[in-house]
Structure 1
Amino acid sequence: MLFGSRFRSGLVSEKGKVVAMDRFRNSQSLSPVRQAEAYWTALRGDGNIPRRSQIDPRGIENLLEYAFILERIAPGIARFRLAGHHLTELAGMEVRGMPLTSFFGVEGRKAVSAATEKMFDAPAVVQLNLISEPRLGRSPVVGHLLMLPLRSDLGDVTRALGVLVTQGKPGSGQCRFNVDHTEIRHVHGLGHTPEGQQDARMSDQSVTEFAEDQSEYDPRGSHLRLVVSRD
């Protein structure tokens, strides 16, 4: 399954400056999690939260299978708008339209819901260390979840770019996780809070479009396609 639908071909910032994205695509020393945050960092410009429409799949092509886009639909609840193939494998099904909490057990859902709400409200960068629920005869799957806040076209922080990477074989059926550790970093905060939150202020900016189909989600639809505009 390819991640994305359509985007504009130009990699040009609001100030008319072309931003080179090869530094992310060709950085083999970075994990998908670090690559995603580096890409998000480059979009921040004057310190504002990037818009959803700025996300271009060409800037994160090395990690598309692990990446996803979330939409906030209620306090503590966000659903997948787009998701890479790795998430489909972990869930054992197509995850588009499903809530993020569907990947977690009962205790894990409480933790991820609270972290998701802080990400949107603060806003904040959220990192979670995960471990799968015990299953007879199978070794645990460990994972790392990163969520980076985004603004919608209306300017509110109701979208997020995320990456979920795991180690271990999930086996057949859905793999559900518990949260082993949570790290929350305020995007505009200074210093550390009691929860270990840090400032995440970054620089540089790029404006491109990674636009979704605006039609209503249909769970019977096909996998997502990557379509390049010819304008």
Structure 2
Amino acid sequence: MTIFLGGRSRADTGNVISMDRFRSGRSVSPIRQAEAYWSALRRHGDVPNRSDIDPRGLENILEYTFILERIAPGVARFRLAGNHLSRIVGMEVRGMPMTALFSAMARAEAAATLEHIFLAPAIAELSLISGTNSRAVSQVEARAILLPLKNDLGEISRALGVLVADGPLGAGGLRFDIAGSNLRKLDIRPDRSPAEPVPGLAEDQAPIRRNAPGLRVVSRED
């Protein structure tokens, strides 16, 4: 299932930049690697746990990788982030809300995308372009993916993300507009197979008898 946010329809392709538009394939490879790793962690098609994420499985793309924590509707902060993201922003991003990456005009759409990831749940891919107020020498294009994760309580409140900028970063301080968004709702089907009884703990169920000895109906007149 594909959904475009921010008032863009499927037919309104004039305002949507193709996901394959980037100058090089450098931004594509880390995203596909992250999605493949995340997909391999799914059990019975469910959302993986945050505790399942092992940095060794992402060692080739760690500089582009980050972990988000949902702290309020439409708000998620960076728990961990690679160096590439810090160079884009121009400072350490840990503890910052993800919406800080976006221009003022794009933040409402970014917040709606975050909610869809956690509540649907869904995978989000974003194509980004630096805003006119960014300090880059020229416009910078970027691509990102956000993959939902469960916390220790089984709630979908974490996300594994990758963001790769394709262009000169200059002094950092970039803020992005959302050029295109692709949301893929996950088809999660819980395992409904009945649990097998544990040997030694199961008890034989005795049939219920209507007139069991020692029991009688008591009325108020009795």
TM-score, with structure 1 as normaliser: 0.67
Partner of 1:157: 156
What is the distance in 2 between the residues matched to 1:32 and 1:76? Answer: 25
C-alpha distance 137-125 of structure 1, shift in aligned 2 (>3 A): closer
Q: Following TM superposition, by how much is the alpha carbon of 1:137 offset from its aligned partner in structure 2, in angstroms? A: 7.8
Q: What is the number of residues matched between the two proteins?
A: 162
What is the distance in 1 between the residues matched to 2:51 and 2:72? Answer: 21
Unaligned 5+ segments in structure 1 are 1-27, 191-231
Partner of 2:185: 186
C-alpha distance 95-137 of structure 1, shift in aligned 2 (>3 A): closer
Partner of 1:130: 128
The code of the aligned residue for 1:160 comes to: A
1:91 aligns with 2:89: yes
Quick one: percent identity of the two aligned structures? 53
Partner of 2:76: 78
Deviations 1:98-134 (A, max 9, x none): 0000011011111111100000000000011000012
Check whether the contact 2:140–2:165 (CA below 8 A) recurs between aligned residues. Answer: yes
Partner of 2:60: 62
Partner of 2:3: none
The code of the aligned residue for 2:174 comes to: C
Partner of 1:177: 176
3-state SS of 1:31 partner: helix
Q: Following TM superposition, by how much is the alpha carbon of 1:138 offset from its aligned partner in structure 2, in angstroms? A: 2.3
Match of 2:37 among 32, 36, 39: 39
Question: Which structure carries more relative contact order (alpha carbon 8 Å, separation 6+)?
Answer: 1
Larger mean CA deviation between 111-120 and 168-177 belongs to 168-177
What is the distance in 2 between the residues matched to 1:120 and 1:48? Answer: 13
What is the distance in 2 between the residues matched to 1:110 and 1:144? Answer: 18
Structure having the higher Rg: 2
1:147 aligns with 2:146: yes
Unaligned 5+ segments in structure 2 are 1-25, 190-222
Q: Following TM superposition, by how much is the alpha carbon of 1:45 offset from its aligned partner in structure 2, in angstroms? A: 2.2
C-alpha distance 137-113 of structure 1, shift in aligned 2 (>3 A): closer
The code of the aligned residue for 2:144 comes to: L
The code of the aligned residue for 2:77 comes to: R
Moved over 4 A (4+): none
Q: Following TM superposition, by how much is the alpha carbon of 1:188 offset from its aligned partner in structure 2, in angstroms? A: 1.0
C-alpha distance 75-137 of structure 1, shift in aligned 2 (>3 A): closer
What is the distance in 2 between the residues matched to 1:179 and 1:107? Answer: 9
